[in-house]
Amino acid sequence: MSIQDFVNKNNITILTSMGEERKTTDNFIIFPNGWIASIVKKENGYTIAVCDYDIYFDWNILKHLGGEKGVIFCETEDEVSDILSKIKLFNYRPSVF
């Protein structure tokens, strides 16, 4: 599965508590479970961070998947897809502040 497959399957638009509309893009995958994967492509791979629908980043949520300092580094798009598959399965919702 590619990043574009996640974009196509999770074509979600949300409204944040600040009234901002956010849509799934190739670097901002919105999942129906309350989480968003933010993907940054770099010269030598990708970094992924996770935030809630109000764009509050959870710097600890990826630790159990091997993340460090709030992000996971992936060398290939296949690795990104693997992490996205795991984020999609998170069965707990973000905390409400």
Domain map (residue ranges) of the chain: 3-88
Compute the distance between CA of residue 51 and CA of residue 36 in angstroms, rounded to an integer: 5
pTM assigned to the model: 0.87
Q: What is the dihedral of CA 13, 47, 74, 32, to 10 degrees?
A: -20
Of 53, 51, 39, 36, nearest to 2 by C-alpha is 39
pLDDT along the chain (97 residues), means of 10: 91 92 95 93 96 90 89 96 93 57
Compute the distance between CA of residue 80 and CA of residue 59 in angstroms, rounded to an integer: 18
